[in-house]
């Protein structure tokens, strides 16, 4: 299927690995010109052929600098994918009373405010091109008890943010959608020093035991974790003209974990 994205210009944040890297690869595969933002430009990201920009989007000036560099490199902007996010350091499994103010600030900076600032910088360009924004949230925004409370709360804010943007900027031709994955096979779960490892230790399990039982424990009827490529394929479709009447929606991709309508 031709998604009609050839030569369109995109910015993808949090692009060095996992979902972000898969999104960059998918958009490049559709013939897009992509600026890929990450704190570290990994060899895997370089191999995609995208234009890598090293930037810390948790810093107040980072998003505006990224968009300025993207505009200079691409000569315009059609698509923004706000993918940057993740856990803010160790100590994510202890419950509400264990989280400090600094952990809340850091988590909101990374998972919410970085996308707010990047969107604010990009919207003048996207309004001119009648462009598209895709925010990568989490199904934890709808089941906030299922993960670290600062993270799920920040993702809930991101989901609400996308809905509000779609309403305000839809008349200017800008579409805004949210993609909310469940557990995805990324370093967050599989790294020996990631959230999955910390969660397994808190439960007295080996990490491989946790990962083996995670799909069933979270209600994923597919029996497996989500692939980053599956998330990327959905993002590419939402970025394309084929989704021209799709806006203001939250697209769950979690193997059926959320049971409510």
For residue 185, the tally of other CB atoms under 10 A from its CB is 17
Smallest CA-to-CA distance from 25 within 2, 6, 45 is with 45
Q: What is the dihedral of CA 32, 35, 41, 42, to 10 degrees?
A: -10
151 a catalytic residue = yes
Q: What is the dihedral of CA 121, 166, 73, 10, to 10 degrees?
A: 140
Whole-number Å distance between alpha carbons of 162 and 182: 18
Whole-number Å distance between alpha carbons of 62 and 98: 30
DSSP assignment of 43-60 equals: HHHHHTT-EEEE--TTST
Q: Which residue in 105, 151, 195, 237 is the catalytic one?
A: 151
In the Cβ-directed half-sphere of 95, how many Cα atoms lie within 13 Å?
Answer: 2
Whole-number Å distance between alpha carbons of 46 and 75: 21
**Residues known to be catalytic:** 151
């Amino acid at each position: 299927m031709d998604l009609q994205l050839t030569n369109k210009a995109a910015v993808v944040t949090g692009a060095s690995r996992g979902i972000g890297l898969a999104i960059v690869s998918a958009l490049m595969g559709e013939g897009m010109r992509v600026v890929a933002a990450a704190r570290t430009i990994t060899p895997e990201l370089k191999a995609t052929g995208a234009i890598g920009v090293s930037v810390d989007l948790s810093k107040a000036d980072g998003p505006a600098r990224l968009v300025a560099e993207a505009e200079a490199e691409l000569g315009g902007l059609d698509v923004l994918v706000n993918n940057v996010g993740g856990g803010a350091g160790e100590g994510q499994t202890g419950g509400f009373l264990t989280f400090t103010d600094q952990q809340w600030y850091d988590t909101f900076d990374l998972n919410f405010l970085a996308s707010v600032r990047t969107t604010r910088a990009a919207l003048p360009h996207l309004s001119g091109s009648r462009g598209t924004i895709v925010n990568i949230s989490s199904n934890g925004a709808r089941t906030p008890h299922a993960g670290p409370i600062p993270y799920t709360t920040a993702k809930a804010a991101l989901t609400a943010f996308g809905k509000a943007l779609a309403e305000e900027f839809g008349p200017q031709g800008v579409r805004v959608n949210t993609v909310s994955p469940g557990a995805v096979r990324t370093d967050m779960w599989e790294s020996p020093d990631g959230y999955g490892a910390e969660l397994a230790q808190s439960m007295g399990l080996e990490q491989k035991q946790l990962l083996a039982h995670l799909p069933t424990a979270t209600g994923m009827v597919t029996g497996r974790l989500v692939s980053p490529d599956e998330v990327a394929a959905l993002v590419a479709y939402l970025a394309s003209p084929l989704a021209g009447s799709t806006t203001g929606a939250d697209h769950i991709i979690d193997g059926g974990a959320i049971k409510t309508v």
